[in-house]
Amino acid sequence: MKLEEKTISSQMIHKGKVVNLRVDSVELPNGNFSTREVVEHSGAVAVVPVTSSGEVIMVRQYRHPVGKILLEIPAGKLDPGESPDECVKRELLEETGMVAGRLKKLFSCYSSPGFSDEILHIYLADELYYQGQQLDEDEFVQVKKVPLKEAVTKICSGEIEDAKSIAGILAAVNNLC
Amino acid sequence: MKLEEKTISSQMIHKGKVVNLRVDSVELPNGNFSTREVVEHSGAVAVVPVTSSGEVIMVRQYRHPVGKILLEIPAGKLDPGESPDECVKRELLEETGMVAGRLKKLFSCYSSPGFSDEILHIYLADELYYQGQQLDEDEFVQVKKVPLKEAVTKICSGEIEDAKSIAGILAAVNNLC
């Protein structure tokens, strides 16, 4: 079965701060035509930082799109020209103040491939030492340490509701990848 | 530390088929002002269907935003007024032809809370029996059964790159929730 679609034309609707939105016309495998909305994103990293006593260093932050404070693993967008390896060190330091003696890439994944090209590079960090949180003036993030096993419980209880955090924590707790 | 932001104003940029885009002005906890792009989505379900022989029934489909075929767990958007429980039965049947004797909610999560309100309700399904795939004329989906342990390997090897599939498979393989 042929699955691929062919792009016929593309219209940029919005060029924004974090995302762009374009609407493409595509030809389907059966020759019919349809439109696809694409939210363009520069990509991001996220990291599961695990302390020597088995705690995950997480961050609480207000997420305007969902209108509430979420408990997440540290994460952030790639700067232009920045590699995921550089970005993850920067974000870990900025948000939690930690430097990782060891940093391991777990996997990369698409957050919402039905409507966005956002790719997330997920890491595991350990052998951590504290150097000092470096938040921007307009960044509001609260660090919270959660024992790894308790983090797993918080996924089922609904206290951790962020998809990348769930995927990263479950990969870390299983010593995957 | 105060983390919440206050919405000052809101401008709808695009009302679309799958997503809307609006740009909000917000007041930050320190009194400064900023803007937030919000991709509105109606929410979706996804399901890890596990056969009696321990295989996950997955689907291969072309994802235009990322320009390639992804291997994912069955999933789909909530229809207006539809409950997640109804939606997951419908999507499982349409995409794979399967009906689940048992259906268990694992967790709900936000796919990209930095820029979207999309919420995903993730289920586990078993005691499956075949009734017949019911794809729309313009839907192109290929079913692929993957042993659960092999699915875990495919996360690390990069063959499974969809965040909701990774989270759901890792929860299922660990008998979580």
ipTM: 0.97
Distance from CA of A132 to the nearest CA of B (A): 17
- Average pLDDT over chain B reads 97
Paired residues of B14 in beta bridges: B21
Q: Name A143's bridge partners.
A: A59
Q: How many CA atoms lie within 13 A of B119 on its CB side?
A: 13
**Which of the four pLDDT bands, split at 50, 70 and 90, describes residue B175?**
confident
What percent of chain B stands above pLDDT 90? 97
Instruction: Sort out which chain B residues have CB atoms less than 8 A from A162's CB and list them.
Output: 109-110, 113
State mean pLDDT over A65-89: 98
The whole-number pLDDT of residue B90 equals 98
- Which residues pair with residue B98 across a beta bridge? B130
Residue type present at position B144: K
Which amino acid belongs to residue B89?
Answer: K
Residue environment code for A34-63, b if the CB has 16+ CB neighbours within 10 A, otherwise e? eebbbbbbebbbbbbbbbeeebbbbbebbb
* Interface contact A110-B177, CB threshold 8 A: no
Phi, psi at B42, each rounded to 5°: -80, -5
B27, A46 contact by CB (below 8 A)? no
CA distances from A58 to A61, A72, A119, A171 (A): 10, 6, 20, 15
Q: Which of B151, B69, B171, B29 is nearest to A3 (CA)?
A: B69
CB contact under 8 A, A110 and B163: yes
- Residue A50 is classified by DSSP as B
Find the catalytic residue in B118, B127, B137, B139. Answer: B137
Query: Averaged over A19-29, what is the pLDDT?
Result: 98
Mean pLDDT across B79-87 = 97
- Centroid of chain to Cα B161: 13
Q: Are B2 and A140 within 8 A, CB to CB?
A: yes
Sheet holding A55-63, edge to edge: A68-72, A55-63, A142-147
pTM comes to: 0.97
Task: Give every strand in the sheet of B142-147, ordered side by side.
Answer: B68-72, B55-63, B142-147
Largest CA distance in chain A: 58
pLDDT of residue A28: 98
Contacts of B177 in chain A (CB under 8 A): 155-156
The token pair at B119 is 């919420």
Q: Read off the pLDDT of each residue in A123-152 and give the average, rounded to a whole number.
A: 96
Kindly calculate the radius of gyration of chain B based on its CA atoms and give it in whole angstroms: 18
- Cα gap A32→A93, rounded to integer Å: 50
Instruction: Give the strand pairing for B44-49 and B119-130.
Output: parallel
